[in-house]
Amino acid sequence: MSGLTANTDLLKKILVGFVADEVHKVGVNKAVLGLSGGIDSALVVFIAAEALGPENVHAICMPYRTSNPESEAHARLVAQACGVVYSVVPITPMVDAYFQQFPDADNMRRGNKMARERMTILFDHSALQRALVLGTSNKTELLLGYGTLFGDMASALNPIGDLYKSQIWQLSETMGVPREVIEKKPSADLWAGQTDEEELGFSYRQVDELLFRMVDLRLTRGELLLEGFEASFVDEIYKKVQNSHFKRRLPVIAKVSNRTIDRDFRYARDWGK
Amino acid sequence: MDFTVTLAQIKPKLGCVADNLELIENHIRDAVTAKADLIIFPELALTGYFLKDLVPEVALQLDAPEIIRLLELSRSISIAVGFVEMTDDYRFYNSALYLEDGEIRHLHRKVYLPTYGLFDEQRYLARGERFRAFDTKFGRMGMLICEDMWHLSSSYILAMDGAATLICLSSSPGRGIEGETLGAASAWQQLTSTTAMFLNCRVLYCNRVGYEDGVNFWGGSEYVAPSGESLVRGTILEEDSVTAVVDEGALRRERIFSPMLRDENLFVTMQELRRIERERGR
């Protein structure tokens, strides 16, 4: 489908311009982001390095003791490849200290805690360095809700939130992200050997083809079936998008006044910028 | 007559009228130095685009000091500029002024306020109700604001009213990344070219750049000759100042070679439109 094939030169120009413009207009010139060793954060750090200059970008790798050691090696490789400032802040002590009180916590709670621990570190460095936190969630995972609310989904600016995973792969080639990072299997890296596609139960390419037609082209369920998608797959994905919608919105405020924030008190975030 | 036009492809600050006026004044000063006759700014150049609840805060009445200042500057160069207008009865319009020799030659209020997709104009703004051509030192012109041009009738009316130059002030968001060029850009380029060609008019299109809440504005301001050919085009996604010499001879020649405008049958058009109107009313 041509819609998932991006003009990567144009895309690069828009996204590099976006980071430069939106960072500079708030009166700072730096960005900070978490580098996981995966492709999404690798792509964002390449975009940021080009937009702000590598010396103004601080990439932080925040491994937990069960993270795959290869991830940290890849994070370092990526940081070196684009020349940004790099540091490692392990989250094992904080996360383990917390779960000593809740030893029975399951993998989901542990994964969410880790994502939120990393978020607090990034926002602390945001204050420390007068730098904006860059988000690294792509459109596929945002639509599926495959992320932690107030964890990896939290950021000041997200350059790749309107790109499907299939487009992330394409743009990463153009931007020069190291090959081993592009080619490895996407993983949340909560434990060794975990992969996104196994956990989700479908491949990114499959779901991107469906999401693009469902969300961007607004095809009806009947039209999707005619295009050859399984009814059960269409229904499963529609439900996932619907059920995760709360993650894509601000907290709901009970309305009592005439001007309630975001309902009838409406301003762009770039108000005065 | 031949004249030189500057298309000021600027990046306004959202909601900052004083800063934007300064930016506009700087561009006017440069254009005067470069001996341009006319300078065109984008839609809502004085205010920025995604204003939402800021509309009443940035709106100006026609006797506001900012407008008076621009009127003074129009003694040395003709100016087309977009802003939010507030009327005496507190309506707010997405408006454009054409200023010349210290006078307001024309005020256009955007008729077609897009309220779909990423647009929400009609929630905040009142709708204009007329398209009128007007006389300038450089011939008869018509002004359109962005979405206005996407309705064939707008340009058609202005051409029928005698406009040989169509000025379009725009804040067009860039989107569509699958093709050779940005989707929004190629759609607009097709539109400006087709409009110029069908109506034997020249089009002066001025689009802004910059980002507001992640939305980019793509620039690409251009001068399209009456043949439909784009003769000068600004850069995509970057601030620019585009200068074009508008050649009267090109208009004359085009109207001889392809006299579609001369042959346009206003009588038939009106008769059929009246019939359609009558039938719809039943």
Spatial neighbors of B161 by CB under 8 A, at least 6 apart, are B131, B132, B133, B140, B142
Q: Is residue B25 pLDDT above 50, yes or no?
A: yes
Q: Is residue B144 pLDDT above 80, yes or no?
A: yes
- Mean pLDDT value of segment A222-226: 98
Spatial neighbors of B90 by CB under 8 A, at least 6 apart, are none
C-beta separation of B56 from B92 below 8 A: yes
B122 touches chain A (CB under 8 A): no
pLDDT at B78: 98
* A58 vs A40: CA distance, rounded Å: 16
- Residue A88: CB atoms within 10 A of its CB come to 13
Find the closest chain B residue to A271 by CA distance. B14
B263 touches chain A (CB under 8 A): no
C-beta separation of A173 from A10 below 8 A: no
C-beta separation of B172 from B188 below 8 A: yes
Residues of A with CB under 8 A from a CB of B: 2-3, 5-7, 10-11, 13-14, 17-18, 21-22, 25, 157, 265-273
B62 touches chain A (CB under 8 A): no
- Mean pLDDT value of segment B257-264: 93
Chain A with chain B: Cβ pairs closer than 8 A:
60
* A120 vs B42: CA distance, rounded Å: 42
Q: Is residue A232 pLDDT above 90, yes or no?
A: yes
What token pair was written down for B225? 């000759």
pLDDT at A2: 62
CB contact under 8 A, A273 and B13: yes
- Mean pLDDT value of segment A250-271: 94
- Stated as kind and residue range, the H or E segment containing A172 is helix A165-175
Q: Is residue A203 part of a domain?
A: no
CB contact under 8 A, B178 and A273: no
Q: Which residues pair with A134 in a beta bridge?
A: A157
pLDDT at A45: 98
pLDDT at A194: 87
Find the closest chain B residue to A261 by CA distance. B53
CB contact under 8 A, B53 and A266: yes
Calculate how close chain A gets to B211, using CA atoms only, in Å: 7
pLDDT at A193: 82
Side-chain half-sphere exposure of A164, counting CA atoms within 13 A: 23
CA nearest neighbour of B39 among B243, B259, B267, B262: B243
Q: Is residue A1 pLDDT above 50, yes or no?
A: no
A59-69 confidence digits (pLDDT tens)? 999 999 999 99
Domain spans of chain B, in order of start:
3-281
B217-258 confidence digits (pLDDT tens)? 999 999 999 999 999 999 999 999 999 999 999 999 999 999
C-beta separation of B27 from B6 below 8 A: yes
Q: Is residue A235 part of a domain?
A: no
Q: What is the mean pLDDT of chain B?
A: 97
CA distances from A145 to A100, A140, B260 (A): 28, 8, 56
- Residue B245: CB atoms within 10 A of its CB come to 13
Domain containing residue A170: 2-198
pLDDT at B247: 96
- Mean pLDDT value of segment A125-140: 98
Q: What percent of chain A has pLDDT over 90?
A: 95
- Mean pLDDT value of segment B258-281: 95
Q: Are strands B38-40 and B202-207 parallel, antiparallel or unpaired?
A: unpaired
Residues in A closer than 8 angstroms to B212, CB to CB, are 268, 270
Q: What is the mean pLDDT of chain A?
A: 96
What angle (nearest 5°) sits at the alpha carbon of residue A34, between those of residues A94 and A104?
35
Task: Please determine, for the modelled complex, whether the ipTM score is greater than 0.90.
Answer: yes
A63-122 confidence digits (pLDDT tens)? 999 999 999 999 999 999 999 999 999 999 999 999 999 999 999 999 999 999 999 999
Number of domains within chain A: 1
C-beta separation of B105 from B116 below 8 A: no
* A159 vs A145: CA distance, rounded Å: 18
CB contact under 8 A, A271 and B180: no
For the domain that residue A62 is a member of, what is the CATH number?
3.40.50.620
Could you tell me what percentage of chain A is helix, strand and coil, using 3-state DSSP and rounding each to the nearest 5?
55, 10, 40
Q: What is the pTM of this model?
A: 0.95
Smallest Cβ–Cβ distance between B237 and the set A7, A13, A268 belongs to A13
B215 touches chain A (CB under 8 A): no
* A208 vs A166: CA distance, rounded Å: 7
pLDDT at A99: 98
C-beta separation of A109 from A8 below 8 A: no
Smallest Cβ–Cβ distance between A268 and the set B14, B177, B237 belongs to B14
The residue whose two tokens read 């900052």 is B16
Q: Is residue A66 part of a domain?
A: yes
CB contact under 8 A, A21 and B178: no
CATH number listed for the domain at residues B3-281: 3.60.110.10
Calculate how close chain B gets to A90, using CA atoms only, in Å: 32
